Structure 1
């Protein structure tokens, strides 16, 4: 029997995230005075909504993050690879290197055979091996929907962290992967069509881009995942106190993304992203379809950098803060 994993979940990939506005309401107020006698100094916490937490211990920044989601593709091995690459990305987005990860698995044990779970875990292991990251153990639960991801610990130089609050006017904005995986994943869920180009984008590690950013002296970055380019850019601009200007003509897309949008394959997560950003953005220069693509909920997207690295197109710039946090041209 052939199983389509995407049919066992209400959504798929990072489009399943709780909407950013609602999430910020949930976590507001969680930043307290801190623990008594902590082992290390908290360098990055909840304040700016960055990609990972960072704690300084004995001259080293220890990074901690986790990410998991429902199936974004039907093939379990590919789903495992995508989920692992996506979880590791938060460490790369902070300028770190992943050291060890543990599995997080939710499985509907009475609906789906465990052979599929084993393939999912095998995909995650393959990507961790590629990243030079140990994958050992984890946790599993009986769950009505299949879910998979990783909790990851990484390390970085504390004085060379990539952060989302260190942007400044005059810096160019670069994006290291094309957009459009959200609309293609939505089409895949509806039709079963396989989009190899999207799988290639989602399984590509952000390791090289992270190293190139550090080598170029870049200090401000984030990755583009479930909140879309506009959502993550808004968080970066807000945290840095600047306005981000985007040249929509410079943004590249995975082959087939525009056709998927034209046929109506837009996730609810993408529409919620756009609703959240719209009050803080000037989108008057583009139509609704272009705005939806810029807000498309990505899974395992690229790095958004305040700076330039080889091979990554420049899609805009940071300017002094104006009326809007984002201006799209």
Structure 2
């Protein structure tokens, strides 16, 4: 049996990064070589030393929306609404804290000019809500909070609107950042381009399922949430070209890995992915991967274990703890070759 307890490690709480380092590309980079089974310690901006001319970096250009709305009932009780995905422009699927306090048809006041009406209760705290106001997109932008992951344990600040977004974010729709991409600066991308390293984009709107814990000991019983993805034809052309030339397709983040491997399994350039990758898994497209350090017993830790081997990953994580690497969304990075 594939046991969840086999994917655990000890992490001192103070190693969970509350803020990113500045500049973005000055974070640490752990380099894992799967063939040689070696571990090196570098700085992220040195990543070009490990990439060759003709290699292809695939990035996720999704953009995080300020999805957390904090409002109150007419009685004054605080209600928090987390927007998950739009059904239409002003009807959304959402997660509501203290949903028991609300009845269908009730209104939550976000501000004078912005209200949220509960249309229908779904299961697990989810609901369908109607956003009421003049320009919905503008109102979400104005009153919404950046949805920092719960383990960061602080309220969002203005600078998180910049910090928690990649420099190439373009297509709105994510409620969590594709964090491996956070380490790139415009300058670093330019430098890699000059070296002959190509870039291509996919879109996967990262959902809350990213943080959803696995609650079953037999991991094969875990079900992933669906997330919308899209792969442009030019990205597929670049991937084919790269493979034909014997160069590497480097996925920037687990979201890109899941997008590309979903395409490899289904042949669909667009749709909803609920792919769950765990050992053993035969990767069809991805040759190398840039990723952050992930939570114990998480779907993301299982994915990198499928790519580099569980024992090697856990050994690398032990070394990361020993060398005081910074963990999770705002933490340091890993390159797996």
TM-score class normalised by the smaller sequence: under 0.3
Q: Which has the larger radius of gyration?
A: 2
Greater percentage in helix: 1
Q: TM-score, length-normalised on structure 2? A: 0.24
